[in-house]
Chains A and B, each alone.
Chain A
Amino acid sequence: MPTRKRRILFVDDDPLALRGFERAAEAYEDDWEVYLARSGAEALHLLAQMPADVLITDMRMPEMDGSALLEAVSRRFPGVVRFVLSGNTEEGKMLETARLAHQFFAKPCDMAYLYQRVEAACRLRERLNSPQMVQLVTGIKKLPSLPTLYIRLMKALQSEDPTPPSRSARLSLRMLP
């Protein structure tokens, strides 16, 4: 049971979108306090006055775009969980945001799903209670990718028949420390 409601800050240049978020988020008003910002500048202004837990921002916006905002937030307010909710599906843009955001969601996105992801992220953060740890984890911009061997091993273990399918897989397994 959280001691206070989570503060969620939605950023989008489209006021209709913001009002949509607000209404949809009303379903979770017991847990959430929703704040709205029409631009990156407004979002930074709000964050400076009152720290938020989660930032959910659009990418394509006039003046300051999503990337610039995420960059600024990660620098100035590293404790804020950064989510992207964008109508843009261009691959290049997605890769760009992957570096700056913790999670990426494509519009249209169901608010229930968003709520679930936000809760999961926040619970994880609450578990790592120490402020140093929070700072460290939220400050991570990229994680090293998992070794191929790990992925193959997990696959093998999760398969219905965990007998090594081939000689090469066997060899790989033998190489485990």
Chain B
Amino acid sequence: MSEQDREAVGQYLALIRRLFDAAPICISVTDLEGRYLYANPALCQLLGYRLEEMPGMHIEQVAYPDQQEIQANRALRQKALAGDFSQYTLERRYQRKDGGVVYALLQISLLRGEDNAPLFFLAQTVDISARRVMEDALRQRLNELEAVNTLSRALRAASSEEELLSLFLQSVLSVVGGSSGVILWRQPPSRALRPLARCGVFEQLAVPALGEDLPARLFEGGDVYIGGALKDDPNFPPQLRQACGSGWRAVCFGLKSAAELLGVVLLLLPLTRPVEEAEQRLLNLVAEIGSNAVTRNRMHERLQASYQDLQREINQRRDVQAMLAREKEVLAVSLLSIREGLISIDAEQRITLFNRAAENITGWQAEQAIGKPLASVLRLLPSRASAAAADPLAYLLKWEAERQRAPLTARLPTLERSDGQKLLLSASVSPVKSREGRLLGHILIFEDATEKMRQEAQHALSQKLESIGQLAAGIAHEINTPIQYVGDNLHYLQRAFERMSEMLTEEERIIVARQGSLLTAEDVAALHALRQEKKIERYIEQVPPAIAEALEGVERVRKIVLAIREFSHPAAKEKAMADINQGILTTVTISRNEWKYHAELETDLDPNLPLVWCRIDEINQVVLNMIVNASQAIQEVLPKDGGQKGSIRIATRCKDDRVQIVIADSGAGIPEDIRSRIFDPFFTTKGVGRGTGQGLALAHSIIVQKHHGRILVDSQVGRGTTFTIELPIGSQEEGESEHANP
């Protein structure tokens, strides 16, 4: 190059320099290593350096300390140097001398010499900070929107709180660009925070429960906590800090529902990445979304639960209603078809329900009866009056009370049917009350007891006949024996009379032959011989006892026949004053054949015993049973062939207002273990054919239920048994007697 050329170039360069210096755009020239050869005033001003400071500085000295960006810049320059391209554009950030950040768009050219060797880089810088801020803000908005959208969508898919939190954590991590995080959750009743949802390192990490004071420490300065190096963060326990390793910071925010802190979201972000204000804002937003989602989820769950409760309740009610309807149906059908008559009446005694059996029993039709007053349909005839009771309900209630007092003697009410026929009713009345206790009406249940009563009466009679039947053989024996000797004696008397008659005829003949003269010695001898021949002396001696014994036999038969008649006296339907002693003697007489071979029977009857208000035939029956039992108990202990007899002792005595009949035997006795069962119906220890197990059960029914008395048993095995029957003399039954004998 000539001097002239050099000068020309120099002038040219100077011109360019002046141009560059004056240019409003930022221009710089760097060498191949990246040192500034030149920086124009515009650039110096942009970066805050004085003009003379820039040359010699390295471009990386003014670069924003973002290694990624720096590396990218470095790589581009290497590529340009390698000849991949000679011009390129990049966006980068500067750090001003005062620390501020400048966003810049650079257009860079690599200038090469004529030999194509690279000479230097020429860079044109445009300050795009304002645009970038706007762009960033816009992008941030978009990100936020997107994050919110993603979050909301994700969270809506959650079906449980745990799933929700897990989804939330994943979404938050993808929004902030992290990979590890954990949600520490309060699970009542504990106040400590325990991990609930985990991502990244926390999935393998044993995260300890954190103290409940953690949130207070974390959120002292604001809703989002951005920690320094986690390794040295005193807010977290050492165990956690060590496990996470170095190079991380903790970023935390809380999740709340209705101002109550529910848990803490802990995210791990690389220390190298600064958390900018915008990100903090995003985290705030995310925290709010998370809190809302949890709140909503909880409300939803509660709503769901209460909805389910409601549904369940509705179902239950529907079931109950269906059941009630069914039951009502069943009840209606049952009421209509039960065997007992059923009438329900309201508080005014009007008939509201009248079932089929009621129709049959009363002779009224339900259609006619319903709505009518009870008294006009149910015509009950009191025993003493011929007119129907004016108030059948009151009559039945009174009758029920009486029946409870004396179940076996209360007389059944008589019903007059619509056709005039009369029935005996067995009825029960129950009041119907509202829940508050107000009387709504009554239910009357009744049945036709006429047939039942008839059968019961027949049953009682047949029982009595049965007990006589059991004695029949013995009684026959008792009658047959006297008849035998009555007959024998009569035959003897007949013969005696014949002989006497012959004797008299002969005497007559001899006396008449003498025609008033004295008898000769021959006559006297003949008469004497005749007397001898006819055995007259013996007849004179024997006839009187023969007559007496025949009469005694007749008396015995008479007695026993009388006793049978007395014993089975069928007229005693009602109670009457009766002589217990006489009854006992009668019973002893007819049962004589049952005991006389095994036992001596001794009676010790109180002659001053008062008459007792009772049904004497029933009492006789009881005494008979006791005598038969006693005799059988004695037979059990007597040796089969030995000439011994047991003893039966029957005593009566009066004790205050009661009469006692004591029947003691020297029989086998009743073993302790069956003593409580002896009055049970059909309980028997006797062999088949000997006992039906009815005797003592019947005795109990007669004495205790029908006569309000008592039966006491005292027994010693091997020594004997004593039954004591106690009967009230009758004063307490005055009322009943009045009723029973109108």
The residues of A with any CB-CB pair to B shorter than 8 Å are: 12, 14, 16-17, 19-21, 23-24, 26-27, 41, 58, 60-65, 68, 85-90, 106-112
Contact = CB atoms under 8 A, between A and B. Distances in A.
Nearest to B494: A27
Contact of A107 (B473, B481, B596, B642): B481
Interface of B: 473, 476-489, 491-492, 495, 542, 545-546, 549, 552-553, 593, 596-598, 641-643, 645
Q: Which residue among B480, B549, B553, B641 has the maximum number of chain A CB atoms within 10 Å of its CB?
A: B480
Given A14-B481, A16-B482, A16-B549, A63 B641 contact: yes
Given A24-B487, A68-B641, A112-B491, 12 more contacts: A14-B481, A14-B485, A16-B485, A16-B553, A17-B488, A23-B491, A26-B492, A26-B495, A87-B478, A88-B476, A89-B476, A89-B480
Contact of A17 (B485, B491, B598, B643): B485
Q: Which residue among B486, B488, B495, B598 has the maximum number of chain A CB atoms within 10 Å of its CB?
A: B488
Contacts of B488: 17, 20-21, 23-24, 111
Nearest to A89: B476
B480 A23 contact: no
B644 to A, nearest CB: 8
Given A20-B549, A24-B491, A62-B645, A87 B477 contact: yes
A49 to B, nearest CB: 20
Contacts of B549: 16, 19-20
A5 B481 CA distance: 27
B489 A87 contact: no
Contact of A23 (B542, B597, B643): B542
Q: Which residue among B484, B597, B643, B645 has the maximum number of chain A CB atoms within 10 Å of its CB?
A: B484
A135 to B, nearest CB: 27
A94 to B, nearest CB: 11
Contacts of B645: 62
A89 B473 contact: yes
24 contacts: A12-B481, A16-B482, A17-B484, A17-B485, A19-B549, A20-B486, A20-B489, A26-B492, A27-B495, A62-B596, A62-B597, A62-B598, A63-B641, A68-B641, A85-B484, A87-B476, A87-B477, A87-B480, A87-B484, A88-B477, A89-B477, A107-B477, A107-B481, A108-B483
Nearest to A59: B477
Contacts of A64: 641, 643
B473 A17 contact: no
Contacts of B489: 19-20, 23-24
A96 B488 CA distance: 27
Contacts of A86: 477
Q: Which residue among A60, A86, A112 has the maximum number of chain B CB atoms within 10 Å of its CB?
A: A60
B473 A110 contact: no
Contacts of A88: 473, 476-477
A108 to B, nearest CB: 4
B485 A111 contact: no
Contacts of A21: 485, 488
Q: Which residue among A65, A86, A88 has the maximum number of chain B CB atoms within 10 Å of its CB?
A: A88
A68 B641 CA distance: 8
A81 B645 CA distance: 31
Given A20-B484, A23-B546, A60 B477 contact: yes
B484 A19 contact: no
A77 B5 CA distance: 194
Contacts of A112: 491
Contacts of B593: 60
B481 A87 contact: yes
| Closest A-B pairs by Cβ, 9 of them | A20-B485, A20-B488, A87-B480, A23-B492, A24-B488, A87-B477, A63-B643, A107-B480, A108-B483
B561 to A, nearest CB: 15
A17 B487 CA distance: 10
Contact of A19 (B477, B479, B545): B545
B485 A19 contact: yes
Nearest to B473: A90
Q: Which residue among A23, A58, A61 has the maximum number of chain B CB atoms within 10 Å of its CB?
A: A23
A159 to B, nearest CB: 37
A86 B643 CA distance: 21
A85 to B, nearest CB: 8
A108 B492 contact: no
A110 B483 CA distance: 10
Contact of B552 (A16, A58, A61, A109): A16
